Amino acid sequence: MQAFTTLTAIAAPLPLANVDTDKIIPARFLKTIKRTGLGVHLFDTLRYDAAGAERADFVLNQPPYRSAEILIAHENFGCGSSREHAPWALLDFGIRCIIAPDFADIFHANCFKNGILPVRLPRAVCDALMEDARLGGNARLTIDLARQVVVRPSGEEIGFEIDPFRKHLLLNGLDDIGQTMQHVDAIDAFEAARERQQGWMPAITLG
């Protein structure tokens, strides 16, 4: 998993509340178990009309937001079903950070597992950041995870809270498998000892 340290990028304003995971990535695109290739279908029903043509009024279809890496939204982002394809689609599009007043719990957890930083900030602050974002490519935001601040184009710094353990995982690019592999020597030693004691059960070696 790619580590998240400091990100300076274009932010796309999405002034919508209760954006559910089916809106993020519709169910018809969930046939794949690959984490790549879903970005083109991100917000499919919002980005495209019935004929498959881009909707010019949707933010991610507009320059400079086609290359946005930060998304700013309203309350309850990621509600609905628990599909992990939602953060996969966001990440494949290029989104590394989502700022909103709050998130659905499972979506929030899935973001951390896939290298996306979800930042909770009050609604009024999100609205102010959206106004910054509407200035386009010349008004980039900076997210400094180590210092836990969002830096506005004006230089104003806005602090945010994050669970220390999840912060550690993001800073070091550790997903669930990465966490396990940190203990590979101890696991291999345990398996070797178990094989000696119970020879009928073959050891599993991770290293």
Paired sense of beta strands 6-9 and 141-144, if any: antiparallel
What gap in Å lies between CA 110 and CA 91, rounded to an integer?
A: 11
pLDDT digits (tens, 9 = 90+) for 129-151: 999 999 998 889 999 999 999 99
pLDDT surpasses 80 at 1: yes
Q: Which helix (H) or strand (E) segment is 178 a member of?
A: helix 176-181
32 compared with 177, residue with greater pLDDT? 32
**Mean pLDDT value of segment 79-107:** 96
Query: DSSP label at 103?
Result: B
Predicted pLDDT of residue 189: 58
Contact predicate 45/103, CB 8 Å: no
Could you tell me how many residues make up the chain? Answer: 207
Q: Facing residues of 150 across strands?
A: 143, 158
User: Region 101-111: what's the mean pLDDT?
Assistant: 97
pTM listed for this prediction: 0.87
pLDDT of 64-82, one tens digit each? 999 999 999 999 999 999 8
pLDDT at 174: 85
